[in-house]
Amino acid sequence: MQPALRSLLSLHGLSGGRGVAAGASRAARCALCSSRATPSGDTASPAPDDWYDVVIVGGGMVGAAVAALLGAARMTSQLRVAVLDVKPQPTHFQPRPVPDLRVSTITPGSIQMLRRAGAWEEVAALSASFDSMQVWDSSSSGSIRWGARDTGAERMGIVAENTLLQAALLAAAQRSGGRTEFLWPAEVRALRLPADGDGTPRAGTSAADASGGGGAVRGSQPKQHGLAELELADGRVLATRLVVAADGAASRVRQMAGLRTWGWGYGQRGLVATVSTAEPSDTAWQRFLPTGPLALLPVRDGYSNIVWSTSPQMAAALEAMGPDEFAAAVNKALRDPPTSATPGTVTSLLGPIATSLERLRPLLPGSGSGSDPGSGFQEPPMVLGWAGGSPRSFPLQLKQAGRYTLPRLALVGDAAHAVHPLAGQGVNLGFGDAAALAEALAAAVETGTDPGDARMLYDSYEAPRRTAVLTMVAALDAIKGAFAIQAPGFAALRGLGLRLVNAATPVRNGIMQYAMMGQV
């Protein structure tokens, strides 16, 4: 190894454990990034063309959030960061007359992240907030209604177009410090990582290997400098202390790293559409149907957004409908009175219980039907038709990576976990990843720890995020499973449960506090 490179690596804690003292200067922390030194004696893989502290693969919402947070924080603002994507990504949002149909529900916890990243003002100006939420069942009379005042919050959340969130975060990253570079179009052809924590070498894997294409030549390990290497399709090789995989549920980086996933398909599709309504709304509505939940969410300029989890056959039929026919289908799903499922064996066993529960119904708060003021239940606004473009759908699945980190690699967002959209938690979990990783890297810089250190990445990022994600996954799957059972006896139990929760203010607010902030 060249003496100059050895000296630079020692400054970064790469050649002797933790390395730099906490009081080391920012110039010392970023010495590696400023250097064009290249390793000698390694002829099996191309010498790096450039050096970075962090390379983020994927310029979507979560990857942009990581870049913006690193640039905004004092301890990490001097890191040299690159954001790669296979195609140019927007750094300016130009609103169209009709909002895009791909939107995200952003919780107060994620709003705090947007503030820290420097993207909140732009997002707030072009999104819609909601201060109440109503969830109700199509197979029973049970419902729950929350208000922002119940939880002491200014708002329950906002609904923003995905392109707005992405552009605002990329613009914030671009503004902060000037050490963030956007490299696009750029496709990763091969990934080379140092040995795993158990000493097992992680062979450089090409995109062809990852996709099962075969015929790829595996590069040697980056033995001389100990960094990760990314070989791009144009031949460039980037060396970095940390690779952040933010390239989605079908992450090529995750596959190239040899990380496996587990999960299952739900046999459903999520249908999305922008719709016009008879009146604007500041409530997030969600009704659980036999085929899955249907949400009606407020978006900017008085429009609303539909997110409907349903069967593939129903999704295909809805996509083929014109605006009026689609409106009729949505209004029927949202406004039809509660129905009972076809009786079966389980129903016959629970029938006496259901009958007894119905006798207790008048004693419960919120036992009125329809829009009875005593129940707190309100009818959603009438949908007039889809606007801007016809509805589209996508398959629903649960996918979890077996590991979120390796030496010099961290997965974030859908690359680490994809969840059911019934509570709108997907991008919020991804933003939670971004915030946790940025905080872990800031602490590493402050203490002189290598940002690619496997133990640090696991302890400070993977372990807490895995717990948070799996807790949310369990909660979402439990909710989905509870509403999937349509037997009348179960429906009566479910309706009773909803009414009890709605009447028990501390329980109701505790549930919403967890959903809004990720904590009770």
Closest CA to 301 of 103, 65, 134: 103
The reported pLDDT for the residue numbered 479 is 67
How many angstroms separate the CA atoms of 261 and 402, rounded?
5
Torsion, CA 68, CA 74, CA 78, CA 79, rounded to 10: -60
- What is residue 341's predicted lDDT score, i.e. its pLDDT? 44
- Give the bridge partners for 230, in sequence order: 191, 238
Radius of gyration of the chain (CA): 25
Q: Single out the residue of 22, 104, 3 nearest to residue 444, CA to CA.
A: 22
Do 375 and 368 meet the contact criterion of CB atoms below 8 Å apart? Answer: yes
Specify whether the CB–CB gap between 297 and 244 falls below 8 A: no
Q: 């500041």: which residue's tokens?
A: 282
Give the SS3 label for residue 155.
Answer: coil
Q: Tell me how far apart the alpha carbons of residues 306 and 301 are, in angstroms, rounded to a whole number.
A: 15
Nearest CA to 366 out of 484, 504, 506 is that of: 504
Q: Supply the angle between the helices 162-175 and 61-72 in degrees, to the nearest 10.
A: 30
pLDDT tens readout for residues 169-213: 999 999 986 799 999 999 999 999 997 654 444 545 544 444 443
Tokens 């992680």 belong to which residue? 202
Q: What phi and psi values does residue 141 have, to the nearest 5 degrees?
A: -90, 10
Residues in the chain: 520
**pLDDT for position 146:** 86
Low-confidence ranges of the chain (pLDDT < 50): 1-43, 198-201, 203, 206-220, 341-351, 353-358, 360-361, 363-375, 519-520
Q: Do residues 40 and 409 touch, judged by C-beta distance below 8 A?
A: no
Buried b / exposed e along 88-126 (16+ C-beta atoms within 10 A)? ebebebeeeebbbbebbbbbbbbbebbebbbbbebbeeb
What is the pLDDT, as a whole number, of residue 475? 76
Strand pairing class (132-137; 283-289): parallel
Asked if 32 and 59 count as a contact pair (C-beta separation under 8 A), the reply is no
What's the one-letter identity of residue 438? A
Report phi then psi at 24, rounded to 5.
-60, 150
* pLDDT score of 383: 98
Q: Which amino acid is at 2?
A: Q
What is the predicted pLDDT for the residue at 34? Answer: 39
**Can you list the positions of beta strands (E) in 290-418?**
292-298, 304-310, 383-386, 392-401, 405-406, 409-411, 417-418
Q: Please report the pLDDT score of residue 502 as a whole number.
A: 59
Task: Report which of 30, 480, 391 is spatially closest to residue 240, judged by C-alpha positions.
Answer: 30
Instruction: Yes or no: say if 490 and 353 are a contact pair by the CB < 8 Å rule.
Output: no
Residue 506: CB atoms within 10 A of its CB come to: 7
| C-beta separation of 171 from 122 below 8 A | yes
Q: What is the pTM of this model?
A: 0.83
Q: Could you give the CA distance from residue 386 to residue 324 in angstroms, rounded to a whole number?
A: 8
